[in-house]
Amino acid sequence: MRRDEHEFRLREERERVLDAEIPDEVPPEVARVALRREILSSWRRCQQIGMTPTSEDVPYRAEFERPNRLLRAALPVIDRLAEQMADGPVSILLADSEAQIIDRRPGGRELEKLLDRALVCPGFVYAEEFTGTNGVGSALEERRPFMVSGAEHFREILQEFTCIGSPVVHPITGAVEGVLDVTCRVGDTHEALKPLVLAAVREIESNILADASKRERMLLERFVRAGRRNTHAVISLNEDVVMANTAASQLLDASDQAMLWDWACTVLSSRDEAVGELRLSRDLVVQARATRVGDRGDTAGVLVEMRTPNRPDARPGPGPRPARSSRPRKSTGLDGLVGRSVAANRLRSDVEVALAVPQPLLVCGEPGTGKLHVATVVHRRRAGRDALTVLDALSAHDDPKGWIARITTSLDRGDTVVLRHLDEVPDEIAPRIEVIVDDAPPGRLIATARARGSATPAARVLDHFPVSITVPPLRYRRDDIADLAPVLIAAHSTRRPIPRLLPTTLRTLTALDWPGNVRELEAVLASAVVRSMGSDIALEHLPPEYRSGGDRTGGRSLRRAERDIVVQALAECNGNKAAAADRLGVARSTLYRKMRMLGIDEKRLPPVTAPR
């Protein structure tokens, strides 16, 4: 079958398939025109998330981070390819691990215009979830070479192109570093393009391996030199490698190693050496000196030297005056509320304030954040070993009168009662619950709900709680994963010692967004405990979809901190952007730009509540 005839038949079958629900298997009549299984699977994913073939929206980030490791390895290869195919009908694209195009060699002028019109340019994100079936996003999704031609693209705007992409995989860690893609017009498709891409990817991966070996040698050399002249703790590390002497191994655990890398990336963002005071996970304070290993534009890693203040040699040598780390102290003031982040400290403070007011308490937060756990902690602090009764408002739909009777009976005998999902209580018994809340014994009634603010009868019940606190989502307290993980792992492991997260695993988990919050994290760790069979938890023990959180570079850590600050200001100003901009000390236009760049949705701000 000629190419033009095949393309015509494919478009016919495309319209027929997309007009109906996409089947799990390729129908025989579609298979005759070679609609491949992987294309059908990709289309199905696109339909499941509600994508439309006619959409032309493509996410764009004007300011984006260029991954140095990938660029060092890939630029010599794509420079050579671009030179060999100068003014030809083929474009070379390089995308990062999030499918954002970071480099493009457009080929001839005509192809360049077509790519510009289709928004196939640096800065645009071609993840499959945003832009449908394509050579970049689908290669990342499938984690293998992927070819999409003509009508195989889910989006109509891309159907004049053939795209062949292949993931670039780190030879040591197995992490996907990015995607190399060649794109041409459908009429210029040639069978030699796929071998060309695969050969180029192998060369890039070889360069990554050589670069990693060079960086490791540089790290080892500095580590050995520092160890010879010092007897205190020395650790040399980058995204993939950790070298520690005996003194450092005794001081640090896995969470400290991830924290050190994060701290060093931040303090060395504009200098080659910095000194600061750090608090480790065992509540031990150390004076730390961080030194860049390598050049500013080609950093191999960092060397961190640490001294404990109670030692005779604790005073740091010449350099900037020691400054306290901006990382908040990990508090142990409230049993069961672990975490070192600003959000965790604020939650503990809010709980302390609520404990001082023995009135009905409302605990708000997204699903899975641990609202019931917070309610249990409050109960233990208020009532010690007294009985705790937990009643779910969702069950009230089956027996409303019986559910109310269980509440009153439990309160009458002196139990603490926790009403879960109170914003879901049936409307017909909402007035009765309002009376129960108003008449509840001091300190004996707690409820959990998503948030205040709705106009339903059930939601109005929440307004009868004089005190409320909000449990922040896990994406706003990622630093707490280092403290939450040991607790969650211990709950699912019978082995001793309890398995730990390896540093690379912790960095990967900390880079994820966790829409399911702590509940989702617990499910992932429970699965990893089973896979690890008692050993420390490595990246390969995580479920496959959680193994590519991305590297936590200093730039990303700073962006995340900046995002949290902006979100907090918007939340505290109830979404008023003028007031938030004033609080942040920036122009309103700057705030709008930051919100777009940081991906902040003003409709999904965390509620800020306090005792009233």
pLDDT score recorded for residue 135: 94
pLDDT tens digits, 351-365? 999 998 889 999 999
The DSSP H or E segment spanning 287 is: strand 285-295
Same domain, residue pair 57 and 190: yes
Q: Which pLDDT belongs to residue 329?
A: 39
In a domain, 219, yes or no: no
Assigned domain for 337 exists = no
- CATH number for the domain including 510? 1.10.8.60
- What tokens does 356 get? 């001082």
124 and 23 Cβ atoms separated by less than 8 Å: no
Bridge-based pairing of strands 361-364 and 445-449 is parallel
120 assigned to some structural domain: yes
Give tens-digit pLDDT for 439-495.
Answer: 999 989 999 998 877 778 888 899 999 999 999 999 888 888 988 998 999 888 887
209 & 237 share domain: no
> What confidence score (pLDDT) does residue 409 get?
93
Encode pLDDT of 162-196 as tens digits.
999 999 998 877 788 999 999 999 989 888 899 99
Q: Which of 560, 578, 557, 558 is nearest to 569 (CA)?
A: 578
Domain-embedded: residue 182: yes
What are the pLDDT digits (tens) for 503-526?
A: 778 888 988 888 899 999 999 999
69, 208 contact by CB (below 8 A): yes
* 3-class secondary structure per residue, 419-476: EECHHHCCHHHHHHHHHHHHHCCCCCEEEEECCCCCCCHHHHHHHHCCEEEECCCHHH
Q: Which two tokens stand for residue 234?
A: 């020395």
Contact 279, 312 (CB under 8 A): no
Mean pLDDT of the chain: 81
pLDDT above 70 (res 309): no
Contacts of 395 (CB under 8 A, 6+ apart): 403
Considering only residues 601 and 106, tell me which one the structure prediction assigns the higher pLDDT: 106
> How far, in Å, CA of 325 to CA of 226, rounded?
23
User: In this structure, is residue 44 part of a structural domain?
Assistant: yes
Check residue 549 and report its DSSP letter.
Answer: -
Q: What is the pLDDT of residues 418-445, one digit of tens each?
A: 999 998 899 999 999 999 999 999 989 9
User: Cα dist. 541→242, 350, 352, 525 in Å?
Assistant: 20, 36, 38, 9
Query: Are 8 and 122 within one domain?
Result: yes
Assess if residue 610 is contained within a domain. Answer: no
Classify residue 296 by burial, with Cβ atoms within 10 Å: 0-12, 13-18, 19+: exposed
67 or 541, higher pLDDT:
541
Q: Could you tell me the CATH number of the domain that includes residue 141?
A: 3.30.450.40
Same domain, residue pair 398 and 356: yes
Any domain includes 222: no
Sheet bearing 146-149, strands edge to edge:
101-105, 90-96, 176-185, 161-169, 146-149
Domain count, the chain: 5
**Secondary structure (DSSP) of 215-262:** HHHHHHHHHHHHHHH--SEEEEE-SS-EEE-HHHHHH--HHHHHHHHH
Q: How far apart are CA 576 and CA 572, in angstroms?
A: 9
Range of the domain at 401: 342-470
Whether residue 432 lies inside any domain: the answer is yes
Task: Answer with the one of 497, 526, 546 that is the final residue of a domain.
Answer: 546
pLDDT at 325: 38
Distance, CA of 553 to CA of 533 (rounded, Å):
31
Q: Are 167 and 179 in contact (CB under 8 A)?
A: yes
pLDDT band of residue 562 (cuts 50, 70, 90) is low
Q: Residue 315 belongs to a domain with what CATH number?
A: 3.30.450
Q: Are 19 and 138 in the same domain?
A: yes
- Residues 6 or more apart whose CB falls under 8 angstroms from that of 70 comprise 94, 96, 102, 168, 177, 178, 204, 208
CATH of the domain at 595: 1.10.10
The answer to whether residue 366 scores a pLDDT higher than 80 is yes
Last residue of a domain, one of 324, 351, 368: 324
